Structure 1
Amino acid sequence: MIIVPTEKQLDWRNAPIILCTLVLLNVMIYFFYQSGDTKKILESMMSYQEQGFLEQEWPVFEKYLEEQQEQELLQQYRREYQANQVELIVSDILMREEFYAYLQKNARQHFLPDAYDQWAPNRALLHKQMQSISFIANGLRASDLRVFSFITHQFLHGDIMHLLGNMFFLIVCGFAVEAAIGHWRFLLFYLLSGVAAGFAQVASDWQSTTPLVGASGAISGVMAMYLAVFRLKKIEFFYWFFFLVGYFRAPALLILPFYIGKEIYSYYTDTGSNVAFMAHAGGFAAGALLIAFAWLLNRNMFNKEYIENDQGIDPQQQPLAEIYESIEKHRFDRALVLVDELMKERKGNFELAMIRYNLLKITRGEHYHEGIIHLLTVPLLAPEHIRQLDKVWKDNPEVHGLLSEQAAMKLGMQFAALENPQSAEQVFMQLLERGCKNPALVVYAGKLAAAFQRLRDIQKKSHYEALSVQLAQQLAQGV
């Protein structure tokens, strides 16, 4: 469920200088600093295996896991080691700084003197390279607290979607907070919220060795600041709960306990998640408290004119607001009529196509399949949209054969960019079954080979590379 405040529109008379700087800094750090992490990890793993270190260290690692009482993981690794599927084992060994310390302490008991003398300096170089990886060098770890990491972890991200998601929420809430409290105060409160989020996460598990990275805690603070700035004034919120979307108005501060409660509830119930729920809760609490203290100390520091100024709905958003209002009141037929009218003006709009699909899904009317096909053929999609289409594709197998070859080809190639290319592979096989002769099928096979290379599935990578060559030869011969 998503609930975000939408009371204020961007006003360049109150230019979000710090916000733009923060977004740019996060993006640059991800693409210019963190981009080298994957290469370092792969090089270290290859070097580790080429030097035969796994065979030397495996008995020590088994003993270490037993002492750590990680029996379930140990059994899993033993099966993988026997099957020579050692990638996860090697990655875990290299990532565990505490295991390297254990090795240094105990290696002489397990290695022959000559083997130890050869192993020690080369293993130290590998460990040093792994320690230079961004989230290890500058992430926040409870087991290895460093003062600077309370700041640096806020500018690191796990993957591109982590980055994009955080920057979206920062932009949505950040410009209004910066306009309300001023540039430098916004920067200070942003960083302090991130520090408080880090403390909250660390305090939830003092023994954790997992690095905390991401701006989520600081951004949670910004969201809380937004609510605290408006206090009990009724402001507009946008919500998205499965297929229900819309706007509602409520006193700003009433939403804050919901935000914090949701994160604490998730912390106790979703124990298998890698989301830092306590960091989010800590950030929310810190952001609200910072605004409260600032308000008590000096109310003149707030831009009251900006805060009190009511903004009407953007004319461009008015039709969407009417659609969401109809959905909120369960007037689905009326909402569908409004969507159809707006789609005539805004052709190729993914949001409208998705709303139409969800409305048709409720009623299961005669245009349901047509709505699915229209959604699956919307052009120029963002990565998040492709993930949504992947689910639509899997949920509606009855329409697979209704797509044209060209539309299926385009959709499948987009699916090939996903983390799991299962749907891309399915579309490809369906095109082969249809007897498709489109030359783009050669490129499609190449994309699948690249997808399985990312997943380190060598068998399927080789299969699709060979298939790409075979298809190219068949097309050249006119078969």
Structure 2
Amino acid sequence: MLIIPAENAVNWKRPPWVTLGLMLACLLVFMFYQAGDDRIMEEAIEQYLDADLQELEAPAYEDYLDRLIRFDGEESRILELQQFQELRQDGEPFWIAVSLLMDPEFYQYLLENQDIIWAPAERERWLEARVAIQENYIQQLSANQLGLVPADLSLYTLITYQFLHGGWGHIIGNLVFLFLLGFTVEKALGPGRYLLAYLVCGALSGLVFSAFSTGSHIPLVGASGSISGLMGMYVAIYGLQKIRFFYFLGVYFNYFRAPALAILPVWVGKEIYDYWFAGATGVAYMAHAGGLIAGAGLVWLLGRSWLQVREEFYEPEDAEQDARFTNGYGQAMASLGRMEFDLARRQFEALFEHYPERTILLEHLYNLAKLRPDLPEYLSRTRQLMDDAMKRQQPEQMVAVWQEYLSKGESHQPLAAEDHNRVLFTSLKQHDMKSAEKAFERLRNSGNEVLTSEACRLLVAEFEKQQMEPKARHYRQLLQAGH
């Protein structure tokens, strides 16, 4: 049974760059760094067969598996023993060598019991050949170099093991789940905190795995512990809110809605059950359980401080926002049609608060404020609309709004010298000398000597550039006379 959350869709206008970066890192590590493992393993097998070590180790391996079954209760090893015996009967030296070389626990068993297993001559021959193969080849495999080995735990492998994988099926499955979960959690936490939380969950997952595999020399690799952490964070972020889940059971699949946190014990319980009853599958169930608990725990412990969910995470998606805007805009326009101007103004203000990037709302608010040019709101909306026009690189509209205000509102609420100065600069860039001179006169009457002097110099320079000497002389005289 598979259950995964499916509440959100990817917003490609704001791509989940950290999630995509983690996926790319795992893929590059697998394709390039781990690509050397095949060559190393081939050379190890060649050396192993040349030294004829399978004749020494194969009987010991059968005895080793038999002991695990009879004395340690590892009944899952029965099938493994039967398959190995079939390999010996069929005369498959290559696969026999693979089985013996890739079982680190068996190698430790041989080291500890070599005096009992072999006579001195055989023991010396085994040590000379096998230890060299182990050190020169097996220990150079990526899983042994950077994988998480519980018997030899180190801080850096708590991070590095998360980027290694055991095969194409392993990495593809993990990358799919990393993407499906990661883009939502990244949106909720923000890139930096998301990346750190992802790595911390992977490290805590590795520690839980090590606690249940004390003394084991089998390396743990893969991002599944970190991804389980994302699953834990995902449901903890939504809490008791009902969200949509996708489930797959056999050949049947569908969706259902449930409180997010209700699924957490189901996930954790499944991993613990599989750990005790699924047998030797090669799946790190306790790493998954540890990741789930770590992810949810981090959000619960730090969700009001360091791991607080960003406000924009709860904003509706673009399609929903468009529908809300269209509905609200229609209501405001209907109020305008009924000449209910106060109601329309409040409706446009509410819309503008949620959609400040939509200029049409500001234009409506400006036109409504223009109905009462004697009030300060008209001045405020004029400045807002002038700023917006400049941001959208529409200088002509900016000058037009300024000119309209001069005719309607200037006598009630005068613009500041800085406002006229902006219009002057904009007009000069557009070579609109008529508007520039008009702005200069307004600036001159404002009493701001510094801005007026600078504006006068700009006008002199511009008229000289256009070879309009009478105009240039006029402004030089104003400059010399102190305006």
Q: Under TM normalisation by the shorter chain, which class is it? A: 0.5 to 0.7
Q: Distance in 1 between matches of 2:274 and 2:130?
A: 40
Please give the alpha-carbon distance, in whole angstroms, between the structure 1 residues aligned to 2:50 and 2:70.
Answer: 27
Output the CA distance in 2 between the equivalents of 1:112 and 1:67: 23
2:18 is matched with 18
Q: 1:311 to 1:275 in 2, by over 3 A?
A: farther
Query: What displacement does 1:191 show?
Result: 0.9
How do residues 31-430 of structure 1 correspond to structure 2 at under 5 angstroms?
31-58=31-58, 61=61, 77=84, 80-81=87-88, 83-101=90-108, 103=110, 110=118, 120-128=127-135, 129-297=137-305, 301-309=308-316
Which has the higher Rg, Structure 1 or Structure 2? 2
- Equivalent residue number for residue 8 of structure 2: 8
Q: Does the aligned pair in 1 maintain the 2:274–2:285 contact within 8 Å?
A: yes
Change (3 A) 1:258 1:67: closer
Q: In the aligned structure 2, how far is the partner of 1:75 from the partner of 1:170?
A: 37
After superposition, the C-alpha distances for 1:74-97 in whole angstroms (9 at most, x for unaligned) are: 676456435433444322332344
Residue 312 of structure 1 deviates from its aligned partner by 5.6
Partner SS for 2:303: helix
Tell me by how many angstroms 1:61 deviates: 4.9
Distance 1:138 1:14 in 2: 33
Q: How far apart are 1:5 and its partner, in Å?
A: 2.1
> Using the alignment, how far apart are the partners of 1:171 and 1:42 within structure 2?
34
CA RMSD between the two structures: 3.2
Shift of 1:58: 4.6
- SS of residue paired to 1:227: helix
Summarize the Cα distance change of 1:81–1:139 in structure 2 as closer, same or farther, 3 Å threshold.
Answer: same
Count matched residues.
Answer: 313
Gaps of 5+ in 2: 72-77, 322-483
Cα separation, 1, equivalents of 2:37 and 2:240: 46
TM-score using structure 2 length: 0.57
Amino acid at match of 1:309: P
Distance in 1 separating the partners of 2:298 and 2:52: 54
The alignment partner of 1:211 has SS state of coil
The one-letter code of the counterpart of 1:37 is D
Measured after TM superposition, the shift of residue 171 of structure 1 is 0.6
- The Cα offsets for residues 247-285 of structure 1, whole Å up to 9 and x where unpaired, read as 333332222222222222222332242222221111111
Partner of 2:366: none
Q: 1:70 to 1:134 in 2, by over 3 A?
A: farther
Deviation at 1:180, TM superposition (A): 1.2
Change (3 A) 1:66 1:95: same
> How far apart in 2 are the matches of 1:77 and 1:12?
51
Structure 1 pair 12–77 and aligned structure 2 pair: CA distance change class (3 A): closer
Distance 2:132 2:263 in 1: 51
CA spacing shift, 1:230–1:80, aligned 2, 3 Å: closer
Distance in 1, Cα, partners of 2:256 & 2:66: 54
User: How far, CA to CA, are the matches of 2:18 and 2:282 in structure 1?
Assistant: 29
CA contact (8 A) 2:49 2:93 kept: no
Note the alpha carbon deviations across 1:336-370, whole angstroms, 9 max, x for none: xxxxxxxxxxxxxxxxxxxxxxxxxxxxxxxxxxx
SS in 1 for 2:201: helix
Deviation of the 1:108 alpha carbon: 7.2
Change (3 A) 1:251 1:47: same
| Cα deviation, residue 9, structure 1 | 1.9
CA distance in 1, matches of 2:113, 2:258: 61
SS at match of 1:240: strand
- 1:212 Cα deviation (Å)? 1.7
Check 1:212–1:101 CA distance in 2 against 1; reply closer, same or farther (3 A cut): closer
Q: Any gaps of 5 or more consecutive residues in structure 1? A: 315-479
Specify whether residues 83 and 239 from structure 1 end up closer, same or farther in structure 2 by C-alpha distance, changes over 3 A only: closer
Over the matched positions of the two proteins, sequence identity in percent amounts to: 38
Structure 1 position 27, deviation (Å): 0.3
1:48 partner amino acid: Y
Q: List per-residue Cα deviations over 1:173-226 (Å, max 9, x = no partner).
A: 111211111111111110111112112222233243432211111001112212
Is contact 2:105-2:218 (8 Å) kept?
A: no
Cα deviation, residue 292, structure 1? 1.3
